[in-house]
Amino acid sequence: MPERIGLAALNLSCQRGGRIVFRDLGFRLAPGQALLVAGPNGAGKTSLLRQVAGLLPLAAGEFRLEGAGPDAELPELCHYVGHLNAVKTSLSVAENLAFWAEFFGANSARVAPALAAFGLGPLADLPAGLLSAGQKRKLALSRLFTTQRPIWLLDEPQTSLDAASLILLDAAIKDHLAAGGIAIVASHVALKTKFAHRLTLGQERVS
């Protein structure tokens, strides 16, 4: 079970190269809720996700964690799946995942079930360099299952995925939410996940 925490963002602004990408943006996610971030290219979807993961500084505003321990750090509660898959081509599929499991402090026994989550079990011993784009994406998404972290940050998670894998992805997000987790998904494609909130960037409107 992931920790049940809530995440609130207050008056966020993002500045890149002197240009304001978005300003005064806010949302509040209770445990079990998901946020869909939409908007045209360049509206700042990736920037917002990277801000939550602590990779990009906030120009203004702040994040508040609700129900987390006093020494909880937001980035360490997040699973970030960005555009890049962080797959090492000279390691095998299982070794790739085993490293992240160990690095994130998980038991190595969790590697096999994590591989199975997206059906990569039969490919475990294959060098990751031989995987197709979609399979590499699945390997990156399998990282979500190595350790329990309450906040999932998914940036265009459906890229290169086939229809069957999209169903698995939807189910994975649903299970994560049902267990009290939070998901923030930037996506153009309609996922079947029920999003409690929707944030459309480029128009600065939250519903």
Partner 1 sequence: MSAALALLKRDLTLSWREGGAVGTALGFYLVVVAITPLGLGPDLNLLARIAPGILWVALLLAALLSADRIFHNDYEDGALDLLVTGPLPLPLIAAIKSLAHWLVTGVPLALLAPVLGLLLNLPVQAIPLLVLSMLAGTPAVSFVAAIGASLTLGLRRSGLLLALLVLPLYVPVLIFGVATASAAITGPASPWPPLLMLCALSLASIVLAPLAAAAALRTALR
User: Where along the sequence are the contacts to partner 1 (CB under 8 A)?
Assistant: 50, 53-57, 75-76, 78-80, 82-88, 90-91, 95, 99-100, 102-105, 143
All residues at 6 or more sequence positions from 28 whose CB lies less than 8 Å from its CB, including other chains: 6, 7, 8, 9
Residue closest to 87 by CA, chosen among 123, 47, 36, 50: 123
Written as six digits, the tokens of 9 are 């963002």
| Distance of closest approach, residue 43 Cβ to partner 1, in angstroms | 18
All residues at 6 or more sequence positions from 126 whose CB lies less than 8 Å from its CB, including other chains: 92, 93
For partner 1, the closer CB: 92 or 200: 92
Written as six digits, the tokens of 46 are 């990736």
For partner 1, the closer CB: 63 or 99: 99
Distance CA 205, CA 198 (A): 9
For partner 1, the closer CB: 50 or 138: 50
| Distance of closest approach, residue 205 Cβ to partner 1, in angstroms | 27
For 13, 20, 31, 75, 194, the CA distances from 141, given in Å and listed in that order, are 28, 31, 21, 18, 19
| Distance of closest approach, residue 7 Cβ to partner 1, in angstroms | 15
For partner 1, the closer CB: 55 or 116: 55
| Distance of closest approach, residue 106 Cβ to partner 1, in angstroms | 10
Q: Strand 205-206 vs strand 197-200: parallel, antiparallel, or unpaired?
A: antiparallel
For partner 1, the closer CB: 144 or 195: 144
| Distance of closest approach, residue 1 Cβ to partner 1, in angstroms | 20
